[in-house]
A and B are shown apart, each in its own frame.
Chain A
């Protein structure tokens, strides 16, 4: 595809703009900003990736991963700002998930150790982990607030903080991972995953594309579960002090 053909794709931006104008949805400004941002961001990433791929330098790959983790942390931390030290907890979660998944992929030679594989897969892993973190933190902070009575009941009966928060923790872990599991049940039936579709459009063998997509799906499954559990078990102790008291000020946003 050349830039002239790509410019024709702007028709797909003009259609929502016109509809918004006619129906007075007032979405024009946001639509234009979104379109401009996606053009600039994706082109910049495209050129950056090309540079990193050509350079074949491990340092550049690491730098790209660090950037991804920083951006994901910045985005997710807003949802968990009521939890003490959430920034470091998120960074640690993303690092563990990245090391675990890439460790398996590269260690067992499932994918080759080239930037063409490491960077896009890292992007999918960290991106997915970020979404899971946001889902988990949203649910967990709400559960803690809504079930404060239950938490204090268990503490008052001589339970430990872990026992007192167990139900809320498990509910939040389940609630944040269920969408990933459920969406995998219908994958291929309702929609073809974007990455697989992209590979097929680019001329890849559909069966090969499916095999690679399956690998990514299983990676995302691990990412989802590990992210929620790790973040959950690192977050709950900060809600209590050393006298096993629920510290309310640490729960507030």
Chain B
């Protein structure tokens, strides 16, 4: 069972308290109705499935109930970092070398 740090509670809590909510940093268009088929497909259906670093959303559903973002390595299953919803994608990751 993973330990996940909730950036709002500022604590590591067991995975049982959380729920994964899919890939992060996929913004909903401000002009949703006007999106092209191609753009809507990209927004709604296309997800990355990387071997390695993934940016994803989690919800501390059985805790503070907040949604937040996390960086996780899909190979080691280790969390690199977590940060609050709305914060930009981190440009530098601690302990990760390209």
User: Is chain B a partner of chain A in the same complex?
Assistant: no
